[in-house]
Structure 1
Amino acid sequence: CEACDRTDYQNAKAKYETQKERLAGQYKAKTVMFQTTLFLLAWYSLTTTLFQAVQSDMFLVDCKSFFNDLASFIQTFVGWTIDAGHSAAQISTKIPNAFIAGMVYWLLLILIVGICMAGTGMLAILIEIKVIELYKKNCWDVITLLMILTSVAIVIYFGESIKKVLSVNLLLLFVLSQGAYVGIRCYLKVWLEKRPY
């Protein structure tokens, strides 16, 4: 009868909904367990690799050299910016009133240095945002995590052998290898998307 069919349908639907919720809960629990295991493995790998890095004299020397060179470049850039500001502010010497000339000089200096520093800072932030977007779009997976950990381990454990063959900063080598990896992943993703099948 029609009432029996409706009751059977409602019972089957309730059973289906219950089973669907149970399976969704199991899937969520397994996903959380997988992500937790992956995080713990990554944390363990990273900490052991970093502890090894602290013990590697070659890697520590290259890290200090890398950051010293970076600080030196920033200091040189700031010096160039201040020199450019001083040069541009020399326009104020054509003003006959000394007080107004001094005010114009400092205003121009602060304006030019501020614009250059703000522009450089904004450019650095935009580049960082683009790199993060590229990572999230093309490389945000387990393969990338394994690639980062493998690259760090190779640079740290085989640093002395690498330095004998190549006279390159180990930290710079790691950064360049990550840049090459991201470039290859982006190229492969675009190439695979353009394939007709």
Structure 2
Amino acid sequence: MRSEKEKLRSANVTIEECQDKIRCLTQQRDYARTHQKIVEIPVEKPVLYKKCEACDRTAYQNAKARYETQKEQLAGQYKAKTVMFQTTLFLLAWYSLTTTLFQAVQSDVFLSDCKSFFNDLASFIQTFVGWTIDAGHSAAQISTKIPNAFIAGMVYWLLLILIVGICMAGTGMLAILIEIKVIELYKKNCWDVITLLMILTSAVVIIYFGESIKKVMPINLLFLLLFIQGIYLGIRCYLNTLYWTNR
């Protein structure tokens, strides 16, 4: 019995010692975790290529010189091809326009419509000038209320010249502004090969088939040509505006 008790007592002592050791080690571990220091140790990384300090960059300079030479050559070729294309386009336009004008001169129907168009335009201008002068005369009648005949005559002619001049100058300025606006729209929206082809094609169709067109609808051919150009300009402006709006 004594021996068993002694063995049990020695076993308990051993267990307690193990627990004390475990407790001590746990405390040391926790202390190390809370009081540890981070130390950065520099490490050299292997470099695959190290630049030579005595390098004169000869390869780079040679490559750059070749690039500049090729760039200048390509720019010269592009410029030459651009000039050739523009020259060819100008010659084609000149040939087409010349042949179209020659055919227009030989077309009696188109020539008569051109004369009629300009005669109507001249008649309209003459009528407008007559209306302006009549309006000036009517406004200048105010001078008749002046008792002095000499002063009344001067006022009459001054009012007439002033009113007619204002009307004529205003109309001329309006026509010039409209012309400038149309030219700006053409340059902005229609200054390309498509417009040139469209003008030549419409002119050729109207000149060559003028008699057939007038049989279908009695309209002045020159006015029809200008009307088609106006419709084309409106369509191009609308498409250009729609394109930039959706972009």
Per the TM alignment, residue 128 of structure 1 is displaced from its structure 2 partner at its CA by 0.2
Asked if 1:192 is matched to 2:243, the reply is yes
Corresponding residue for residue 219 of structure 2: 168
Corresponding residue for residue 70 of structure 2: 19
CA distance in 1, matches of 2:92, 2:133: 48
Q: What is the RMSD of the two structures over their aligned residues, measured on CA atoms?
A: 1.1
What percentage of aligned pairs have identical amino acids? 86
Distance 1:191 1:100, change over 3 A: same
Bigger drift between 94-103 and 136-145 goes to 94-103
Candidates 103, 112, 118, aligned match of 1:61:
112
Per the TM alignment, residue 2 of structure 1 is displaced from its structure 2 partner at its CA by 5.2
Aligned length: 196
SS at match of 2:218: coil
| Runs of 5+ unmatched residues, structure 2 | 1-51
SS at match of 1:192: helix
Corresponding residue for residue 137 of structure 2: 86
CA distance in 1, matches of 2:66, 2:237: 46
Per the TM alignment, residue 4 of structure 1 is displaced from its structure 2 partner at its CA by 4.3
What TM-score do you get using the length of structure 1 for normalisation?
0.96
Equivalent positions of 1:64-143 (< 5 A) are: 64-143=115-194
Query: Which segments of structure 1 move beyond 3 Å, counting only runs of 4 or more?
Result: 1-5
Corresponding residue for residue 11 of structure 2: none
CA distance in 1, matches of 2:177, 2:59: 60
What TM-score do you get using the length of structure 2 for normalisation?
0.77
Per the TM alignment, residue 93 of structure 1 is displaced from its structure 2 partner at its CA by 0.7
Higher helix share: 1
Q: Larger radius of gyration, structure 1 or 2?
A: 2
Corresponding residue for residue 57 of structure 2: 6
